[in-house]
């Protein structure tokens, strides 16, 4: 009961779907937490909302399915296609922007702070913050909305982080950077003068000063993104970029909405990314 991960490239080229972190927690661990000791089997490529699972457990049905009747979770060895409950908010992770959707749901649902790092007195936090051990929030940082930041990060000075964002361990978000509704993996640096919105950045990414993502079409329609030979409607009115592991951008790189950069690729100073960069 697994899904072809190729649709999630470039993120799936360097890790399995179940290993991908949502709010700094691997998807497989989310499955273990939501299923608990219920004995329910969860599809490794599914995002399961707790409310959906709670309804499923009391429904008497064999399987929790998506709108296409594909099983997200089930009781027993195999799901019974004649005994199903359609999920309201759970879904398959078919494409890379689905990780962003899962991250939004998880981070937005956080209800209390968890602070293990240091916050400078001049920093402002307006929302729920999970802050990892050894992380420093420097002067002039403004955090608005729910945000998760891992361990041993340097945030600031003078940057703006908006929900619903998660940032992995050992990251640097620096001077005059705005991060909005992003999923950023560990050891990634967005150091200077950048706007990154509605995007996913892989591990060990370094964005040159002035790297900017566009995330809104002029006509206000949903963004579309190329997967294989097909142009897929993302269902998102705001959508930035998907960047794989070990990508480096030159200074003042501008990225069109919905474009993807494969692992280990680079851009030159002043480049405008109009198409996916595969190599």
Neighbours of 136 (CB within 10 A): 16
Distance CA 247, CA 242 (A): 11
Distance CA 267, CA 219 (A): 28
Residue reference for tokens 């002043």: 270
List 192, 218, 223, 246, catalytic entry: 192
Q: Under 8 Å CB-to-CB from 45, ≥6 apart: which residues?
A: 2, 3, 5, 17, 18, 92, 93, 94
Distance CA 65, CA 59 (A): 13
The yes-or-no answer on residue 116 being catalytic is: no
50-57 and 27-35 helices cross at what angle (nearest 10)? 40
Residues with a known catalytic role: 192
């Amino acid at each position: 009961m697994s899904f072809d991960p190729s649709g999630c490239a470039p993120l799936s080229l360097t890790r399995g779907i179940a290993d991908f972190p949502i709010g700094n927690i691997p998807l497989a661990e989310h499955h273990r937490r939501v299923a608990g000791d219920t004995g329910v089997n969860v599809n490794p490529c599914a995002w399961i909302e707790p409310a959906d699972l709670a309804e499923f457990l009391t429904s008497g049905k064999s399987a929790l399915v998506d709108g296409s009747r594909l099983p997200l979770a089930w009781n027993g060895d195999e799901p019974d296609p004649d005994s199903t409950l359609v999920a309201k908010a759970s879904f398959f992770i078919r494409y890379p922007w689905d990780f962003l959707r899962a991250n939004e749901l998880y981070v937005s649902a956080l209800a209390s702070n968890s602070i293990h790092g240091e916050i400078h007195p001049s920093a402002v936090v307006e929302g729920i913050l999970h802050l990892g051990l050894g992380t420093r929030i420097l002067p002039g940082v403004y955090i608005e909305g729910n945000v998760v930041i891992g361990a041993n990060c340097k945030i600031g000075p003078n940057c703006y982080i908006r929900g619903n964002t998660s940032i992995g361990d050992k990251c640097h978000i620096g001077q005059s950077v705005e991060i909005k509704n992003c999923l950023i993996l560990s050891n990634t640096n967005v150091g200077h003068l950048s706007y990154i919105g509605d995007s996913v950045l892989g591990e060990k990414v370094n964005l040159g000063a002035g790297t900017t993502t566009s995330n809104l079409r002029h006509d206000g329609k949903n963004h579309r993104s190329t997967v294989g030979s097909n142009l897929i409607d993302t269902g998102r009115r705001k959508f930035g970029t998907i960047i794989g592991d070990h990508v480096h951008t030159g200074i003042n790189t501008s990225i069109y909405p919905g474009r993807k950069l494969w692992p280990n690729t680079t851009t030159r100073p002043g480049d405008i990314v109009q198409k996916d960069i595969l190599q």
